[in-house]
């Protein structure tokens, strides 16, 4: 895949930074950015790379020099202008089928974030605070992301 555009990169970095600050301050786990690869299957290998990811403290374990084995608890996907709805839904379904608890779909056009889990979907607008039980205590103002 070709590199992401400027807006995509800025949104990914902003989300990673906000999550990292909150997660670190509350000792909740680890936040990954820069499209870290998660190896979800072997033979044939399935490796997915979200724009940002989070793994709860109790699941962190040893760090690898290669891909992280297993799914993140949270996968954040910034929607690119070239992605079709079917591609986005396939990606969400993949994450959830491999055990990811929550997927955030960041939409730069509508300035919304849709949180998708096995329990359902919630959409947060620019005037909302995003909450997700995967990261306890998080109240992330959407306006800070799209600022």
Per residue in 48-83, pLDDT (tens digit) is: 999 999 999 999 988 888 899 999 999 999 998 888
pLDDT digits (tens, 9 = 90+) for 19-53: 999 999 999 999 998 779 999 999 898 999 999 99
Say what the pLDDT of residue 5 is: 84
The pTM score is: 0.94
Omega cis (within 30) before 44: yes
Sign of CA dihedral 68, 74, 76, 82: positive
Q: Could you give the domains of the chain?
A: 6-145 (3.90.1570.10)
What integer pLDDT is reported at residue 127 of this predicted model? 96
SS3 breakdown of the chain: % helix, strand, coil, rounded to 5?
25, 30, 45
Query: How is residue 2 annotated by DSSP?
Result: P
Please state, rounded to an integer, the average pLDDT across all residues of the chain: 93
Of the listed ranges 3-7, 49-53, 91-95, 137-141, the one predicted with least confidence = 3-7
Q: Is 140 left (phi over 0), alpha (psi -120 to 50) or beta?
A: beta
Beta strand ranges found along 36-85 (DSSP E): 38-41, 46-48, 52-56, 68-69, 74-78
pLDDT number for residue 121:
96
pLDDT tops 60 at residue 1:
no
Is 144 buried (19+), middle (13-18) or exposed (0-12) by CB count in 10 A?
middle
């Amino acid at each position: 895949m070709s590199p992401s555009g400027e807006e995509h990169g800025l949104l990914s970095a902003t989300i990673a930074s906000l999550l990292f600050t909150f997660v670190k301050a509350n000792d909740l786990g680890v936040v990954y950015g820069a499209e870290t690869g998660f190896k979800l299957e072997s033979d044939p290998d399935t490796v997915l790379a979200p724009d940002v990811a989070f793994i709860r403290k109790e699941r962190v374990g040893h760090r690898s020099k290669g891909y992280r084995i297993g799914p993140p608890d949270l996968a954040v996907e910034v929607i690119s202008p070239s992605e079709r709805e079917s591609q986005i839904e396939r990606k969400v379904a993949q994450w959830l089928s491999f055990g990811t608890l929550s997927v955030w779909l960041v939409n730069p056009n509508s300035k919304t974030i849709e949180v998708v889990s096995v329990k359902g979907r919630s959409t947060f607008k620019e005037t909302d605070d995003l909450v997700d039980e995967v990261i306890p205590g998080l109240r992330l103002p959407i306006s800070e992301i799209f600022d």
